[in-house]
Amino acid sequence: MKISVIGVGYLGAVHAAGMAELGHDVVGLDVDARRVRQLEAGRAPFHEPGFDETLRRGLDLGRLRFTTEYEDIAGADVHFLGLGTPQRADGFGADLASLHAAVDALAAVLPARDGSPTLVVGKSTVPAGTARGLAERLERIEGVRLLWNPEFLREGFAVGDTLEPDRVVYGVRDPEAADAEIRMLDTVYAPILDGGTPRLVMGYEAAELVKVSANAFLATKISFINAISELCEATGADVTDVSRALGMDDRIGSRFLRAGVGFGGGCLPKDIRAFIASAEDLGVGQSLGFLREVDAINQRRRVRVVELAREMLGPLRGRRITVLGAAFKPDSDDVRDSPALEVASRLMAAGAHVTVTDPEALKNARGHVEGLVTVEDTAEALRGAELVLLLTEWRRYRDLDPSVAAELVAAPRIIDGRAVLDPRTWRAAGWELRALGRPDAPAPAGTQAGTAGQPAAHEPPAAHEPPAAHEPPAAHEPPAAHGRAAAASTAGPDPAAPLLSRG
Ligand code: UDX
């Protein structure tokens, strides 16, 4: 089929390459001419495992092109809308300006068609009610039908999530009278649906709500365990013990129950805020009032890391601090609302000399924080540090050898902001280790998991709770060598890795 994808940011670029991979004839459109040139040259504008290959394959096979001109996409059968919906500058709500501008520009070039309809398929994350409004405008053109088909892809797993999603959701104006457009989108996704992926048809508003509810639920789950983490800090409990035991309850599940410095990125933070704003606009603000607390808990974790640094060093002015990680999560170069970078900025504001290292995100980080000192090589970044903060759990940082690292730093002090290091090993190597939600010193013998024959927090999950194939590997696990997880690997080897990594 002839397909266009309007807006080739993270979501749109991966979707365009994914649709070419399914065998369609795809044109990606963006108003950003630089990005279009980059994609056309086969250069990925962001770090996403597996994307470069998919992009190049589409280009080489002649199935994928990019343009800035709406005339070039006018004749497509299906137009996907992959525009970003960032947080508004003046409040919590979603900024839909680029989505509306794209729909206006598209409407101006869409030819009237009889016979098979022209489909416009929204993928952007939007407040409930948006699709119905857009349909009013678009469906005035003969033969045009709008579907809302939210995207659930995760950075680091975006290609796999596009080609093998958990489910496909179609939002339509009237589920009883949408056969033609449903059949048409089924044709687009045929290889995915033939593989057994469930497809759910519902009204526009339900489809819009599925997406924001999913992100709100995930954010809530993370903030829940981080709230428990605060309780752990007050009582001397270890949050990794609590999380592990909670996760073994099938009704709760272990995914998104990792405590630490919290969630960031281009989706969860802005989506929960947009959801709050949307509920208020609908007159049911009370319903999502708890999401304000979810946001507040998340923000508090960032502040807590800085407090911990002060507890360890005293006044921060002039102290040399190394931050391991700049991306909002491993396997990504995205620094939008990154907890690691916010902590680094706060430390800098307190007068510390901060050095940040990350395998992929340093270029973006420099563009985000003025005056940020970045060092690519881990060993070099560690050299002379009076305090180290692990804030993004890239494999190379989880695997650091504490004895080798101790030789490099000026003083062996570390804050584990993702609860991924084994405190006993690090302390045995001479490190003063503090971790969010974990006791400052080993509890008396026999009272701690791991000392009483219990699996320690750094051990793999119990056999009955395997991570799903599409789940990002938990911090303590090696990435799976098969399925969708295989697409996600840590970035190329760190020159210092052989020196620093344990076994
Ligand atoms: C998220 C949703 O998962 C995805 O479905 C949606 O389409 C877009 O938003 P993404 O932003 O790529 O995806 O990141 P995700 O893997 O969800 O992680 C979000 C943040 O939560 C990261 O900062 C991560 O470090 C943090 N996190 C995740 C935790 O702090 N604890 C956890 O247990 C899991």
Of the candidates 174, 307, 160, 297, the one whose C-alpha atom is nearest the C-alpha of residue 227 is 297
C-alpha 261 – ligand 1 centre gap (Å): 12
Please confirm, yes or no, whether 267 is among the known catalytic residues.
Answer: yes
Of the candidates 113, 99, 105, the one whose C-alpha atom is nearest the C-alpha of residue 67 is 105
Cα–Cα distance for residue pair 389/87, rounded to 1 Å: 29
* Cβ contacts of 251 within 8 Å, gap of 6 or more: none
Cβ neighbours, 10 Å, residue 110:
20
* Cβ contacts of 291 within 8 Å, gap of 6 or more: 216, 219, 220, 272, 273, 275, 276
C-alpha 161 – ligand 1 centre gap (Å): 13
Cα–Cα distance for residue pair 423/486, rounded to 1 Å: 29
Look at the chain and count its residues: 503
Cβ neighbours, 10 Å, residue 111:
11
- Which residue in this structure is represented by tokens 């990005």? 35
* Cβ contacts of 1 within 8 Å, gap of 6 or more: 24, 25, 77, 78, 187, 188
pTM across the whole model: 0.88
Nearest protein Cα to ligand 1, atom 22: 263
Nearest protein Cα to ligand 1, atom 3: 154
Mutate to test the pocket of ligand 1, among 218, 221, 465, 484 (most ligand atoms within 8 A of CB): 218
> 26, 128, 267, 365: which is the annotated catalytic residue?
267
What is the separation, in whole angstroms, between the first and last Cα of the chain? Answer: 50
C-alpha 472 – ligand 1 centre gap (Å): 9
- Which residue in this structure is represented by tokens 């650091």? 400
Indicate the SS3 state at residue 209.
helix
Mutate to test the pocket of ligand 1, among 256, 271, 392 (most ligand atoms within 8 A of CB): 256
Nearest protein Cα to ligand 1, atom 13: 154
Show the tokens assigned to 378. 């881990």
Cα–Cα distance for residue pair 262/393, rounded to 1 Å: 12
Indicate the SS3 state at residue 462.
coil
Nearest protein Cα to ligand 1, atom 16: 154
Cα–Cα distance for residue pair 455/478, rounded to 1 Å: 17
At position 184, the amino acid (one-letter code) is: M
Q: What's the Cα-to-Cα distance from 396 to each of 392, 416, 421, 427, rounded to whole Å? A: 10, 14, 12, 19
Is residue 442 within 8 A of residue 448, CB to CB? The reply is yes
At position 36, the amino acid (one-letter code) is: V
Burial state string for 203-220 with b = 16 or more CB within 10 A and e = fewer than 16: bbbbbbbbbbebbbebbb
Of the candidates 9, 418, 95, 86, the one whose C-alpha atom is nearest the C-alpha of residue 267 is 86
Mutate to test the pocket of ligand 1, among 85, 329, 416, 418 (most ligand atoms within 8 A of CB): 329
DSSP assignment of 219-257, as one string? HHHHHHHHHHHHHHHHHT--HHHHHHHHHTSTTT-STT-
Q: List residues near ligand 1 (CB under 6 A).
A: 152-155, 215, 218, 222, 256-258, 260, 262-265, 267-268, 328-329, 472
**pLDDT per residue rounded down to tens, the chain (503 residues):** 999 999 999 999 999 999 999 999 999 999 999 999 999 999 999 999 999 999 999 999 999 999 999 999 999 999 999 999 999 999 999 999 999 999 999 999 998 887 788 999 999 999 999 999 999 999 999 999 999 999 999 999 999 999 999 999 999 999 999 999 999 999 999 999 999 999 999 999 999 999 999 999 999 999 999 999 999 999 999 999 999 999 999 999 999 999 999 999 999 999 999 999 999 999 999 999 999 999 999 999 999 999 999 999 999 999 999 999 999 999 999 999 999 999 999 999 999 999 999 999 999 999 999 999 999 999 999 999 999 999 999 999 999 999 999 999 999 999 999 999 999 999 999 999 999 999 987 544 544 433 333 333 333 333 333 333 333 444 433 333 333 333 333 444 454 454 576 64
DSSP assignment of 365-403, as one string? HHHHSTT-EE-SSHHHHHTT-SEEEE-S--HHHHTB-HH
Query: Are β-strands 64-67 and 78-81 bridged in parallel, bridged antiparallel, or unpaired?
Result: unpaired
Cα–Cα distance for residue pair 428/18, rounded to 1 Å: 48
Indicate the SS3 state at residue 497.
helix
- Which residue in this structure is represented by tokens 């606009």? 281
Nearest protein Cα to ligand 1, atom 33: 256
Give the angle 52-54-55 at the CA atoms, nearest 5°: 65
Q: Which atom of ligand 1 is nearest to the CA of 154?
A: 12
